[in-house]
Amino acid sequence: MDIETKYFGSMSVDENKVIHFVKGLPGFQDEKMFVLIDFPDNPVFQILQSTVTAHVAFVVASPYHFRKEYTFDLGDQTKDELAITTPDQVKILSILTLRKPFEKSTINLLAPIIINVDALKGQQIILTDDFSSRTPLQSEKARAE
């Protein structure tokens, strides 16, 4: 299928890779169909792109690339809604806010995106843990080095 994208213009995407977000995303409840687009020459980042609205696109990455210690419990309701039965079905992504200089960029650890890669169902959840929506990509120690 052909879609318009925020960062890459018009492009063709595989209909079999469209992820369905039944509840949409917070602030974008009407946006229910997304695809993950790889960033050229950068395996860390992807774009979560709406298949309907070109300007609705988010730079995402695995939070574990930046915070190996990141952990939270995935509730039974989320598992049921996304038809998750095994851990290998789960892909966790976080939305990034990229800034100049790059060292000022942040990652949203408070509201991870959970995707069942087999069922192609997704949901952004809001954690009650002590996480921030604006966590620096690099720790203070890494920035100082």
pLDDT digits (tens, 9 = 90+) for 49-92: 999 999 999 999 999 999 999 999 999 999 999 999 999 999 99
Can you tell me the distance from the alpha carbon of 145 to that of 143, in angstroms, rounded to the nearest whole number?
6
Tell me 25's DSSP state: B
Q: For the whole model, what pTM was predicted?
A: 0.92
Judge contact between 119 and 94, C-beta under 8 A.
Answer: no
Read off the pLDDT of residues 13-50 as tens digits, 9 standing for 90 and up: 999 999 999 999 999 999 999 999 998 889 999 999 99
Which pLDDT belongs to residue 14? 96
> Distance between the two ends of the chain, CA-based, in angstroms?
46
Residue 110 banded pLDDT, cuts 50, 70, 90: very high
Q: Which residues contact 79 (CB under 8 A, 6 or more apart)?
A: 85
| C-alpha span between 117 and 60 (Å, rounded) | 16
Cα–Cα distance, 32 to 112 (Å, whole number): 16
Superfamily name with CATH number, domain 2-144: BH3618-like (2.30.290.10)
pLDDT digits (tens, 9 = 90+) for 120-138: 999 999 998 889 999 998 7
**Preceding amide of 101 cis, omega within 30:** yes
